[in-house]
Amino acid sequence: MKKAALASAILSTFLSGTASAATVYQDDSSSLSVGGRAEARFNISDENKSDENDSFEDKSRARVNLKGKTQIAEGLGAFGTYELEVNSGKDQTLDTRYLFAGLDTDFGAISYGQQDSAQVILTDFTDILATFGGDAADLIDGNKDKRENNFVYSGSFNDLTVTANYIANDEKDSDTYGISFVYSLPMGLDLGAGYVDGKKDNVDTDQYNLTAAYTYNDFYIAGLYAGGSVGDADLTAYEIAAAYKYNQFTFQGVYNYQEIDPKGGSSEDNVDYFAIEGIYKFNGNFRAYAGYLFEQLDNTDDQFQAGVRYDF
């Protein structure tokens, strides 16, 4: 995992199409860039069927993001990020994905707004597919991305990246806090660990994450193990991901599993599937992809998803 030089860049690594984002304004101290994507995609599965709907479902979407930064003084800057997503199909929605601003210092970046929890830098190790994946790791809400009322600190210290956050939930007694560490070794090995704690509807919740990723030339493999609890119920999850790049092709696969074990009851699998995917990148702006999900749970159906995406 490659870390950005500034901590504010770490906080913005989620932004779609950042590699293609265009700088629309720049002077000696400030800059503004615009990026995003147009993604036409569809899903085919019996999971989509109902009395009104067939197995085919459109899942097209578009995103637009704005990123600004300015230098205030020596060793002190400010930044702001906004990203909007438009979804087509039967669920036509217009949603704010990210909206935050903060200060960047020599000791790290501090920001507030709607942004990722401290654990996302860890869950991104295995959440690599364009179609499926990343469904098992979020055992509790405080582990997820795009959290509102979120205070975040992120700093890089040589090969160590530290991220911490506090979510001041609007609901009474529902605040959460978390911290994560990622250490990058020179031989292509990245190790991570994190912990998040809080309450949900006056019920104590907690989760820990352990991750590792290894990159060798065009090959990538990563794993995540998570454990935690919601009240008296114990939660366990793990994700495994692998990718291989050959010229303009990328072949990827994941396995996601999540189990809940309530006290005094029988355990239940919430997530259990394999998924494979192929991506062809025509250039830095345009790609096509297709993925297939093999469900392992009873009373669930496999899924096929494909699409084309233009980053700008």
Supply the DSSP string of 247-288, one letter for each residue: TTEEEEEEEEEEEEE-TTS--EEEEEEEEEEEEEESSSSEEE
State the amino acid at position 255 in one-letter form: Y
Task: Set out the domains of the chain in order of their start, with CATH numbers.
Answer: 7-311 (2.40.160.10)
Give yes or no for residue 18 having a pLDDT over 70.
no
Give yes or no for residue 7 having a pLDDT over 90.
no
Give yes or no for residue 3 having a pLDDT over 70.
no
Cα 227 from Cα 281, distance rounded (Å): 36
Q: How much is the average pLDDT of 123-129?
A: 97
pLDDT at 48: 87
Q: How much is the average pLDDT of 253-260?
A: 97
What percent of the chain has pLDDT above 70? 94
State how far the alpha carbon of 190 is from the alpha carbons of 123, 125, 184, in Å.
13, 9, 4
pTM score above 0.85:
yes
Cα 163 from Cα 3, distance rounded (Å): 12
Query: What's the mean per-residue pLDDT of the chain?
Result: 91
What element of type H or E holds 160? strand 160-167
pLDDT at 51: 78
* Residue range 200-215, pLDDT digits in tens: 878 899 999 999 999 9
Instruction: Give yes or no for a contact between 40 and 47, defined as CB atoms under 8 angstroms apart.
Output: no
* Residue range 20-56, pLDDT digits in tens: 688 888 898 999 999 999 999 999 999 888 878 899 9
β-pair type (61-73, 56-58): unpaired
* Residue range 166-201, pLDDT digits in tens: 999 877 778 999 999 999 998 899 999 999 999 887
Give yes or no for residue 1 having a pLDDT over 50.
no
Give yes or no for residue 10 having a pLDDT over 90.
no
